[in-house]
Amino acid sequence: MKKYIFIPAILLALAPVYAFAPAATWQIADKSVIRFSAGGEVGGIFKTMKGAVVFDEQNPPASSFDLTIDVASVNTGNALMNTHIKSADWFDAGKYPVIRFVSKKVVKSGTGLQVTGDMEMHGVKKETTIPFTFQNKGATAVFSSKFAINRNDFHIGKPGGDVDENVKLDITVPVVKK
C-alpha cells in the first residue's frame, strides 16, 4: 500500500516544476515588417527591428519584450521624402536614432493578446498598449499587430497639415525559437 501512495506523492511534488517552466526566448527574424500610414500618400516601412523577446503562450504574464526600431531604416519609397522624414522636422533620426518599446505586462484579451509598456520615440516616453496575435509554428512563430498611435503624443511633426495625427501601424514580426 505504501508503494502506491509514494508514486502519486512524487508526481504531485514534481508538478510545480513542470507547471512553471520558463518562457521561451525568441530571436527576431530578418523579415520583420513595420508598415505605417498617415493618410493620403504618406506612409512607408521601417526595415530594421531588434530586441529581446521572451514569450510564453500558455502564461502571457511571464512574457517580456524589449524592442528597438532603427529610425534611419525608414523607407517611404521616395528618396526626398526619406530624407525629410529623418530630419528634425519629423523623426530627427540624428538626435533620436531608435524607437524603443519595453513591456510592463502581457495579458490575454478577447481572441488575442495585449502588451502594455513604455514606448519611447522622439525623446518622449509614454505608456502604450498594443494588441497582438501570436501564431506558433513550433520552432518558428509570427507576432502580428494592427493599431494606431497619435504622432502628436510623441511631438513628431507639427499638428495638422496633410499628415494624419493618428498613424496606423501594421506590424508582422517572424521569430525563431532560441
Angle at 17 between CA 108 and CA 6, to 5 degrees: 130
Residues 6 and 149 sit within 8 Å (Cβ to Cβ) = no
Predicted confidence pLDDT, tens digits, the chain (178 residues)? 455 444 444 444 444 444 456 789 999 998 899 999 998 778 999 999 999 999 999 999 999 999 999 999 999 999 999 999 999 999 999 999 999 999 999 999 988 999 999 999 999 999 999 999 999 998 999 999 999 999 999 999 988 878 899 999 999 999 999 8
Whether residue 59 is contained in a domain is answered as: yes
Q: What CATH number is associated with residue 56?
A: 2.40.128.110
**Domain membership of residue 171 as a residue range:** 22-177
In-domain check, residue 63: yes
Cβ atoms 117, 128 nearer than 8 A: yes
- CB-hemisphere CA count at 13 Å for 25? 4
Per the domain annotation, does 5 fall within a domain? no
* Domain count of the fold of the chain: 1
In a domain, 7, yes or no: no
Task: Tell me the pTM.
Answer: 0.85
Instruction: Specify if 115 maps to a domain.
Output: yes
Residue 15 within any structural domain of the chain: no
- Residue 99's H or E segment, with its range, is strand 98-109
Say what the pLDDT of residue 5 is.
Answer: 46
- Residue 8 resides in a domain: no
At 51, is the secondary structure helix, strand, or coil?
A: strand
pLDDT, position 21: 60
In this prediction, residue 20 carries a pLDDT of 53
In a domain, 129, yes or no: yes
